[in-house]
Structures are given as C-alpha cells and as structure tokens.
C-alpha cells in the first residue's frame, strides 16, 4: 500500500489542492508546496505530459501544454486555470527558473548564430 499525497495546507484553493496532489503523484513526492517549482522538484517535459493528462481527466480542462511550462508552480498554474492570469504571463519566477531562462537564451542565440563557439569558452572575440 503506497502513501497518499499530502495536499497543501488550508488556505489553498480547490484547484491548487488538486494540482498539488497530481504533482505529488507524478513526481512521487509526499508533499508539494504551492510555491515550489515543478522542475526544481525533479520534473521534466515527459512528466509534464503526464501532469497535463491528469489535469484533463480530473479538472476537465485542456490547457495548451506550453502554459504548463510557463507556470511552473502550483499557485501560478492554478491561477491560470482559474482565469486569474493571462496566458503566457509568469506569476512567479524562482531562482531555478531564472537560471533556466538564461540557459534558454544562450541556446536560442547559438541557434540563431549570434553566439560563436569561441565566446562560449572565453577564447577570442565575436568578430573572428
């Protein structure tokens, strides 16, 4: 018999409670706080697909998958699902999210040819 996920403390909305239980199940952790970041808890894109499927099944909502990436906390995603946040707007950005955003910008720059290999390793300059 496995332990049941622990929903967040009182004061959480119904949507936050459901999402916290879903995240607990998918991430296989006993408790998820409403401000914890999905990716900092060990989540990744494949697990986010599982979260999406459970949101559809339990809440009857079918948000675009990209919005689950845009709202990496239970509180932020719940606000979006409850119509209290605009699509694509980030309600909270944790330290880990800021680091990931910086990394994504570097990758996008490499794809666009704006950052050369030499500048990534501190060798030479961008005008070689």
Tell me the pLDDT tens digit for each residue of 70-87: 999 999 999 999 998 766
Residue 35 has pLDDT above 90, yes or no: yes
Query: Are 98 and 85 in the same domain?
Result: no
Could you give the number of structural domains in the chain?
A: 2
Tell me the pLDDT tens digit for each residue of 88-119: 555 444 445 444 555 555 555 555 555 444 44
Between 85 and 41, the higher pLDDT residue: 41
Domain region containing 100: 93-128
> In the 3-class helix/strand/coil scheme, how is the chain assigned residue by residue?
CCCCCECCCCCCCHHHHHHHHHHHHHHCCCECCCCCECCCCCCCHHHHHHHHHHHHHHHCCCCCHHHHHHCCEHHHHHHHHCCCCCCCCCCCCCHHHHHHHHHHHHHHHHHHCCCCHHHHCCCCCCCC
Query: Are 44 and 76 in the same domain?
Result: yes
Query: Are 66 and 97 in the same domain?
Result: no
Query: Are 6 and 54 in the same domain?
Result: yes
pLDDT value at position 117? 47
Query: Are 122 and 81 in the same domain?
Result: no
pLDDT value at position 9? 60
Query: Are 84 and 98 in the same domain?
Result: no
């Amino acid at each position: 018999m496995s332990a049941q996920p622990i929903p967040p403390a009182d004061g959480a909305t119904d949507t936050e409670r459901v999402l916290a239980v879903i995240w607990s199940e998918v991430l296989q952790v006993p408790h998820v706080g409403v401000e914890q970041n999905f990716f900092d808890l060990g989540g990744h894109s494949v697990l986010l697909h599982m979260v999406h499927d459970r949101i559809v099944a339990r809440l009857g909502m079918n948000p675009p998958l990209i919005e689950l990436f845009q709202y990496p906390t239970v509180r932020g995603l719940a606000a979006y699902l409850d119509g209290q946040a605009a699509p694509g707007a980030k309600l909270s950005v944790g330290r880990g999210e800021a680091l990931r955003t910086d990394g994504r910008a570097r990758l996008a720059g490499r794809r666009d040819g704006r950052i050369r290999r030499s500048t990534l390793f501190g060798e030479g300059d961008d005008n070689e």
